[in-house]
């Protein structure tokens, strides 16, 4: 979520800490001036740290922009598998740590401010969710379909109206925020339903130390956007990723940020995989 910091691993009982960290990160981000890319197609920063894995600045507007792919029309809501844990079925927030600023309207969860987190924690998992950016879109680039999916209390998969606006590639829809852009831009128009199917291999930790990083394979609207992609740590705004207090489990979160993004049909499947060697 643009302007939000996830500097520390977030547990299900630390939502207040997210807000405080986000405010601190957003204040720090004001030190960086927004600039246009050389071709004028994107905006971002050129004064942030350089990512050692990519050679680009964090939120670099000159990073290659993922090509657009038309994913086709939105299908009906995907049926949940028999072994899935239903996180939101359009009725209530029984599996979430509720916040009064989020609402349920016509069977959809509507984002308010703050981060909505699950009561349970998860490790290796498959997450499905469907989201919709408002139509008409907000003219403010920072509010344009802006939200995020917090995976395992560690890193964010960006939600953004990348059909309408081009932001820095590591902040567009389906990016691992502040780290890795999607392979392609598979966004539908605002007002249409979009799907994320995210498979996460959790970090492997031994004696409190990181043994192997998290990895992500993901489809956006049925189109592959990440394949076994390494996650380099947390996803702070305008700063480098790091594994602070790594853990093999954490909550799922939805991250509100000045935009009433809608959600429906959210389910998760804990999966059992052999430990990485």
Residue 17: per-residue pLDDT: 42
Contact partners, residue 40, CB within 8 Å, separation at least 6:
none
Residue 91 has pLDDT above 90, yes or no: yes
For 212-271, what is each residue's pLDDT tens digit? 999 999 999 999 999 999 999 999 999 999 999 999 999 999 999 889 999 999 999 999
Tokens of 9: 């691993």
Answer whether CATH 2.60.120.560 is correct for domain 15-68+81-270: yes
- pLDDT value at residue 142: 83
Q: How confident is the model at residue 20, as a pLDDT?
A: 42
What are the domain boundaries of the chain? 15-68+81-270
Instruction: Using the predicted structure, report yes or no on whether residue 27 has a pLDDT greater than 80.
Output: no
Considering only CA atoms, which of 39, 36, 33 is closest in space to residue 238? 33
pLDDT above 70 coverage of the chain, percent: 88
> Which candidate, 272, 267, 273, places its Cα nearest to that of 77?
267
Residue 8 pLDDT greater than 60, yes or no:
no
CB atoms within 10 A of CB 139: 9
Residue found by looking up tokens 């003219």 in the block: 139
Rounded CA separation 212/150 (Å): 19
Tokens 């389906």 — which residue? 174
Query: In whole angstroms, what is the distance from residue 201 CA to residue 139 CA?
Result: 36
Residues 238/193, Cβ–Cβ less than 8 Å: no
Across 26-50, average pLDDT: 84
Dmax over CA atoms of the chain, in Å, equals 50
Model pTM score: 0.88
Average pLDDT over residues 107-112: 96
Task: Give pLDDT, residue 30.
Answer: 55
- Cα–Cα distances (Å) from 264 to 11, 17, 73, 115, 213, in that order, read 23, 26, 17, 16, 30
CB atoms under 10 Å from CB of 59, counted, come to: 28
| pLDDT at residue 274 greater than cutoff 70 | yes
Quote the CA–CA distance of 177 and 168 in Å, as a whole number. Answer: 10
- 126 pLDDT higher than 90: yes
pLDDT digits (tens, 9 = 90+) for 172-206: 999 999 999 999 999 999 999 999 999 999 999 99
Q: How confident is the model at residue 1 (pLDDT cuts 50, 70, 90)?
A: low
- Position 3 pLDDT exceeds 80: no
Look at 157-161, 245-249, 273-277 and tell me which has the smallest mean pLDDT.
Answer: 273-277
Q: Which helix (H) or strand (E) holds 234?
A: none
Q: Which residues on neighbouring strands pair with residue 181, listed in sequence order?
A: none
Q: Is 196 left (phi over 0), alpha (psi -120 to 50) or beta?
A: beta
d(CA 239, CA 80): 37
């Amino acid at each position: 979520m643009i302007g939000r910091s996830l500097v520390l691993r977030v547990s299900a009982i630390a939502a207040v800490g997210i807000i405080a960290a986000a405010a601190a990160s957003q204040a720090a981000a004001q030190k960086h001036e927004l600039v246009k890319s050389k071709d004028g197609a994107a905006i971002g920063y050129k004064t942030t740290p350089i990512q050692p894995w990519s050679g680009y600045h964090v939120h670099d507007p000159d990073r290659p922009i993922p090509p657009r792919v038309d994913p086709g029309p939105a299908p009906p809501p995907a049926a949940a598998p028999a072994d899935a844990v239903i996180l939101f079925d359009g009725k209530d927030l029984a599996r979430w740590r509720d916040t009064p600023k989020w609402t349920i309207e016509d069977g959809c969860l509507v984002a308010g401010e703050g981060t909505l987190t699950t009561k349970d924690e998860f490790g290796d998992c498959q997450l499905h969710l469907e989201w919709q950016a408002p139509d008409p879109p907000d003219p403010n680039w920072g509010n344009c379909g802006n939200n995020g999916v917090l995976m395992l209390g560690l890193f964010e998969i960006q939600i953004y109206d990348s059909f309408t606006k081009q932001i820095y590639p590591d902040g567009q829809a389906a990016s691992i925020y502040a780290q890795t852009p999607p392979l392609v831009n598979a966004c539908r128009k605002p007002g249409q339903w979009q799907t994320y199917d995210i498979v996460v291999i959790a970090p492997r930790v031994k004696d409190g130390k990181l043994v192997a990083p998290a990895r992500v394979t993901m489809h956006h609207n049925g189109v592959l956007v990440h394949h076994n992609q390494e996650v380099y740590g947390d996803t702070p705004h305008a700063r480098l990723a790091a594994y602070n207090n790594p853990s093999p489990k954490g909550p799922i979160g939805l991250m509100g940020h000045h935009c009433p993004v809608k959600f429906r049909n959210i389910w998760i499947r804990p999966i059992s995989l052999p430990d990485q060697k």
